[in-house]
């Protein structure tokens, strides 16, 4: 299955990594590596995330980091919709 980032999710990821990079380049590298691992998991097991209140949207925590990824499945791809810090209100979804 193919992974596709929306413009919004790609910008959110870049913002997260830039914020972390400012205080810890190694930390940003670690978060990026974990995010890559999560995307690989979704590519291989697209149903790995939990359903949300929105029937077409699933979520997957980027543990051990405080981020959650929201995505939608189509027949041929996993569409990454958002990546949020868990303290954000919408992350509860």
CA 43 to chain centre: 12
- Separation between Cα atoms, residue 18 and residue 21, nearest integer Å: 5
- Predicted confidence (pLDDT) at residue 92 exceeds the cutoff of 70: no
- Separation between Cα atoms, residue 11 and residue 80, nearest integer Å: 12
Domain that holds residue 85: 2-92
The total number of structural domains that make up the chain = 1
Residue 17 sits in a domain whose CATH number is 3.30.2310.20
Mean pLDDT confidence for 73-92: 85
The string of pLDDT tens digits covering residues 13-34 is: 999 999 999 999 999 999 999 9
Calculate the alpha carbon distances from 72 to 21, 22, 49, 67 in Å: 29, 31, 10, 17
Reduced to 3 states (helix: H, G, I; strand: E, B; else coil), residue 76 is: coil
The string of pLDDT tens digits covering residues 34-66 is: 999 999 999 999 999 999 999 999 999 999 999
**Kind and range of the H or E element at 54?**
none
């Amino acid at each position: 299955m193919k992974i596709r980032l929306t413009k919004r999710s790609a910008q959110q990821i870049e913002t997260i990594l830039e914020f972390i990079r400012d205080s810890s380049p190694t930390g940003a590298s670690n978060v990026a590596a974990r995010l890559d691992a999560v995307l690989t998991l979704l590519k291989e097991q697209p149903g790995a995330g939990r359903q949300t209140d929105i029937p077409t949207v699933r979520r997957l925590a980027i543990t051990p980091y405080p981020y959650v990824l929201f995505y939608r499945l189509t027949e041929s791809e996993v569409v990454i919709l958002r990546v949020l810090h868990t303290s954000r209100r919408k992350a509860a979804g």
